[in-house]
Amino acid sequence: MSKRIKTGTVLALAALVGAGAILGACSRTDGTDERGNGKTTAELKPKEPVELVIQNQNFAWDNDYFMEYYGNDIERKFPHIKLKLLMRGSKIEDTVISGMPLDIIAAPPASFNDTIAKFDLQYDITPLIKKYKYDTNRLDPSVVGLSKQMAGGGIYDIPTSMSPAALVYNKDLFDKFGVAYPKDCMNWDEVFELAKKMTRNEGGVQYRGLFASVGHLINRNQLSLNLINPVTKKADFENGKWKGFLENMARFYQIQGYDMSDKIASLTPQKTEWEKAQTVAMWLPVSGAHLIPDMKNYDYVSFPIFKDFPDVGPQSYPVQFYVTGKSKHKDDAFEVLAYLTSDEFQLKQSKKGVFTVLNNDSIKAAFGQEGSDYTGKNFKALLPKIHAPNMIESKYNTVASAALTTAFYDFVLGKKDINSALREAAEKTNKQIEADQIATGEKK
């Protein structure tokens, strides 16, 4: 790995690698750690009927999906509670302006600043955690760290499941070209060599070794690089570390024969080439379900690793549920969310093929036992044993990530050298930050 991307990440990542060594993955060791059962301990009392309104922010759930995977179990567990789901697409600002009750928000981490914090809906549930003796040590440490970081030391959310991150490969293409399948625990250099072997033009068809969701790769980067400097509040692109990180990924797109152009320099056309045209050998979605409806013969191996940090995968990206500050039923809402991380519920979810948020090997081992879309696949590769520490959250991360993604493709397409691309991305991001600060009165 380039020295530029090692400095500053060693301490944070090495601490996690050391702590995770007893768990292993590419280090081939195992361990078991079971703690508590997640049940709240407040004295049970007869309760008045309650309707909890839940806003779905950015998840592709319809009401049927939500009730199957969450709602039915919640209402059986808490007979006095009825749930009302506000569908994806309904805007939080409309809910706030209308004065409609809003008790819980389901959202990914990236939505926090643009929605929850923007409308001051966050609520520190630390007092409820203490009241109900909720044990956060049962959760994957990476998600607890993320929650505390987002809340400045408090906790706004309870995470309920993890997002997978693995390398997906088209077995038919590897068979077609007589190349051995990818393996678990490959490092970036090994994947690069494999991508070169799979890149070729045959019968007038251009085949490429690997495409990735570059934006997600940036947002969940394995080196925990910040997009925004927490001290200066400006883009943190020009410290040398992002340069090395992007160069590592750019070399795949610069393989001879890739034939990159503006037409294909974004996520949607690359995903089409992978899934529809099926001319791409390997795919790094980094987020999402990792299921390929239009492809039958595919499988997973673990996310590529940096040699210096074996076992360290992308940053965690959990499904998070927030109790809102405007809820009149905070205790009920909290008890519902606590139940969603109980051993009982998490075991049931794991058997269905949902990735548990618990640090519990027996529940992880139950994954897919009742059948799932991952049946027959190497699903153990879908989650790393160790998630990289999460970058510092900033309300400007979305702006910065978009600018950095543009810089990546400007470099790949030969429009700019890497230093110029990063410098201009930083300038663009900082101008947008300054304009926002002036508009909000933070800067005059």
Residue 91's pLDDT is 79
Task: Over range 64-77, report the average pLDDT.
Answer: 95
Residue 24's pLDDT is 45
Here the CATH number for the domain that contains residue 155 is: 3.40.190.10
User: For residue 2, is pLDDT > 50?
Assistant: no
CB-hemisphere CA count at 13 Å for 85? 22
- Choose from 23-27, 382-386, 407-411 the range with maximum mean pLDDT: 407-411
Q: Could you tell me if 258 and 367 lie in one domain?
A: no
By CB atoms closer than 10 A (0-12, 13-18, 19+), residue 113 is middle
Buried/exposed code over 84-103 (b: 16+ C-beta within 10 A; e: otherwise): ebbeeeeebeebbeeeeebb
User: For residue 27, is pLDDT > 70?
Assistant: no
Task: Over range 392-416, report the average pLDDT.
Answer: 96
Final residue of a structural domain among 351, 377, 403? 377
Q: Has residue 219 been placed in a domain?
A: yes
Q: Side chain identity at 251, as an amino acid letter?
A: R
Q: Side chain identity at 107, as an amino acid letter?
A: A
Measured distance CA(410)–CA(378) in Å, rounded: 35
Residue 45's pLDDT is 63
Domain count across the chain: 2
Residue 239's pLDDT is 84
Buried/exposed code over 57-83 (b: 16+ C-beta within 10 A; e: otherwise): beeebeeeebbebbbebbbeebeebeb
Residue 444's pLDDT is 66
Q: Supply the pTM of this predicted model.
A: 0.85
User: For residue 21, is pLDDT > 80?
Assistant: no
Q: Could you tell me if 291 and 198 lie in one domain?
A: yes
Residue 58's pLDDT is 77
Tell which wins on pLDDT, 227 or 11: 227
Count other Cβ atoms within 10 Å, centred on residue 41.
9
User: For residue 188, is pLDDT > 90?
Assistant: yes
Q: What's the pLDDT tens digit per position in 332-356?
A: 999 999 999 999 999 999 999 999 9
Q: What's the pLDDT tens digit per position in 263-308?
A: 999 999 999 999 999 999 999 998 777 888 889 899 999 999 999 9
Task: Over range 314-320, report the average pLDDT.
Answer: 94
Tell which wins on pLDDT, 89 or 147: 147
User: For residue 12, is pLDDT > 60?
Assistant: no
Which are the contacts of 17, defined by CB distance < 8 A and separation ≥ 6? 309, 310, 311, 312, 386
> CB of 313 within 8 A of CB of 16?
no
Q: Could you tell me if 236 and 310 lie in one domain?
A: yes
Q: Has residue 248 been placed in a domain?
A: yes
Q: Has residue 342 been placed in a domain?
A: yes
Residue 29's pLDDT is 38
Q: Could you tell me if 207 and 271 lie in one domain?
A: yes
Q: Side chain identity at 190, as an amino acid letter?
A: E
User: For residue 179, is pLDDT > 60?
Assistant: yes
Q: Has residue 22 been placed in a domain?
A: no
Residue 199's pLDDT is 98
> CB of 318 within 8 A of CB of 357?
yes
Q: Could you tell me if 255 and 290 lie in one domain?
A: yes
Task: Over range 2-10, report the average pLDDT.
Answer: 45
Structural domain span for residue 332: 50-162+318-377
3-state secondary structure 303-318: CCECCCCCCEEEECCC
Q: Has residue 329 been placed in a domain?
A: yes
3-state secondary structure the chain: CCHHHHCCCHHHHHHHHHHHCCCCCCCCCCCCCCCCCCCCCCCCCCCCCEEEEEEECCCCCCHHHHHHHHHHHHHHHCCCEEEEEECECECHHHHHHHCCCCCEEEECHHHHHHHHHCCCCCCCCHHHHHHCCCCHHHECHHHHHHHHHHCCCCCCEEEEECCCCEEEEEHHHHHHHCCCCCCCCCEHHHHHHHHHHHCEEECCEEEEEEEECHHHHHHCCCCCCCCECCCCCCECCCCCHHHHHHHHHHHHHCCCCCCCCHHHCCHHHHHHHHHHHCCEEEEECCCCCCCCCCCCCEEEEECCECCCCCCEEEECCCEEEEECCCCCCHHHHHHHHHHHCCHHHHHHHHHHCCCECECCHHHHHCCCCCCCCCCCCCHHHHCCCEEECCCCCCCCHHHHHHHHHHHHHHHHCCCCCHHHHHHHHHHHHHHHHHHHHHHHCCCC
User: For residue 153, is pLDDT > 80?
Assistant: yes
Tell which wins on pLDDT, 372 or 85: 85
Residue 300's pLDDT is 97
Residue 443's pLDDT is 80
Residue 46's pLDDT is 73
Percent of the chain with pLDDT over 70: 89
Task: Over range 360-368, report the average pLDDT.
Answer: 93
Q: Has residue 60 been placed in a domain?
A: yes
Q: Could you tell me if 170 and 236 lie in one domain?
A: yes
Q: Could you tell me if 268 and 285 lie in one domain?
A: yes
Q: Has residue 45 been placed in a domain?
A: no
Residue 80's pLDDT is 97
User: For residue 412, is pLDDT > 70?
Assistant: yes
User: For residue 19, is pLDDT > 60?
Assistant: no
User: For residue 191, is pLDDT > 60?
Assistant: yes
Q: Could you tell me if 292 and 418 lie in one domain?
A: yes
Task: Over range 97-126, report the average pLDDT.
Answer: 93
Q: Could you tell me if 231 and 325 lie in one domain?
A: no
Measured distance CA(146)–CA(144) in Å, rounded: 5
Residue 22's pLDDT is 35
Q: Could you tell me if 153 and 265 lie in one domain?
A: no
Residue 18's pLDDT is 43
Q: Has residue 17 been placed in a domain?
A: no
Which are the contacts of 44, defined by CB distance < 8 A and separation ≥ 6? none
Task: Over range 401-430, report the average pLDDT.
Answer: 98
Final residue of a structural domain among 327, 352, 377? 377
Q: Could you tell me if 282 and 176 lie in one domain?
A: yes
Tell which wins on pLDDT, 171 or 58: 171
Cα-based torsion angle of the residue sequence 265, 266, 268, 271 in order, rounded to the nearest 10 degrees: 70
Q: What's the pLDDT tens digit per position in 399-408?
A: 999 999 999 9
Q: Could you tell me if 158 and 92 lie in one domain?
A: yes
